[in-house]
Amino acid sequence: MSTAPVIAAVDGSDDSRRALEWAVDAARRRAAPLRVVHVRQYAAWGQADVLVAGLPDAEGDPVLDEVRDRLRDGSDAPAAEYVAVEGVPGAVLPELGSDAQLLVLGSRGRGGFTSLLLGSNSLAAARDADCPVVVVPRPGREIPKDRSAGAGPRVVVGLHADSPDEAALDFAFTEAALREARVQVIAAYPWPAQTWSAPGQMVPPPVDQDAVERETRSLVEGFLAPHRERHPGVGTEARILPGDAAGHLVAASGDAALVVVGRHRRRLLAPTRMMGSVTQAVLLHAACPIAVVPPAPPGE
């Protein structure tokens, strides 16, 4: 049984070079092959046409030639194949994840408005790909300092206590084991609590914040128990925090190895794939690479 590849999407930009470095390291840690893909927007109106390495068009691609030269100099680079694809990047990139274990790309490509924090192609891949998508941001994002993070490598993962995302938790623990890092779980509960009453009715008693925090922690510890059992060598820290989940995750990203978020919460009547507001905010503002993990298929 062949191992699914780690895919690096490249376009010759500095952003894609950083993504390539991350993908090479990820493939090496997973003992997986590396597939380097350049989506060439030459035939945006037609069907995507895949050209595999070895064909003249793929061999003559200057973006892929640069990557070949770069990886050729690396002594421990994983086995790599090179693929050129013609089509619309925003449509082609998500399709690449159908047979991959990981898709890695930069936060911005060569096109579009350089002032944007996240390109439309990265957003489309993170929203629609069937595999986890890692977006490597540009350096220099300024975030609030989190002085309580502690030393050592960390994989940060967001956990919604009302609807935990098992796929995101599993990815975070697996990634931490590969990196010999600890998992830092961020579980935020809404605060201050909103209480409503109709005119003429008695106002409900105030909510006890300590009680809410204890209940949230109890739920979180229960969700984490099977993952801790499967990964006994991975240290875990659960932080139960009031207020804005996105803000806490961004603050924790400062010197983290990775931030892991679920793609969206399941909605029975959702007609299309979506990303939640927390995931979008983390993609826009986190300082370290961000992994967006799709939900597990029903029944898994």
Question: What residue type is assigned to position 240 of the chain?
Answer: I
Distance between CA atoms of residues 69 and 54, nearest Å: 15
Domain identity same for 51 and 131? yes
CATH of the domain at 283: 3.40.50.12370
- pLDDT at 118 (0 to 100): 58
Tell whether 167 and 61 lie within a shared domain.
no
Alpha-helical runs (H) found in 103-208:
120-128, 166-179
What's the whole-model pTM score? 0.85
Specify if 145 maps to a domain: no
Tell me 104's DSSP state.
E
Domain that holds residue 104: 6-136
- The answer on 261 and 223 residing in a single domain is yes
For residue range 160-208, what is the model confidence (pLDDT) as tens digits?
A: 988 889 999 999 999 999 999 999 999 999 877 665 556 656 556 667 8
Of the listed ranges 50-54, 118-122, 192-196, 281-285, the least confidently predicted one is: 50-54
Map tokens 């993908």 to a residue: 23
**144 within a domain of the structure (yes/no):** no
Number of domains in the chain: 2
| CATH assignment at residue 109 | 3.40.50.620
288 burial level (CB within 10 Å; 0-12, 13-18, 19+): buried
The answer, yes or no, to whether residue 143 has pLDDT greater than 80, is no
Q: Are residues 163 and 283 in the same domain?
A: yes
Residues 173/143, Cβ–Cβ less than 8 Å? no
pLDDT at 111: 52
Q: Which two tokens stand for residue 43?
A: 């035939």
> Does the residue 142 lie in any domain?
no
**Gap between the Cα atoms of 16 and 108, Å rounded:** 8
Residues 112 and 82 placed together within one structural domain of the fold: yes
Q: What is the DSSP letter of 11?
A: -
Tell me if 298 is assigned to some domain: no
128 domain-assigned: yes
162 with 115, same domain?
A: no
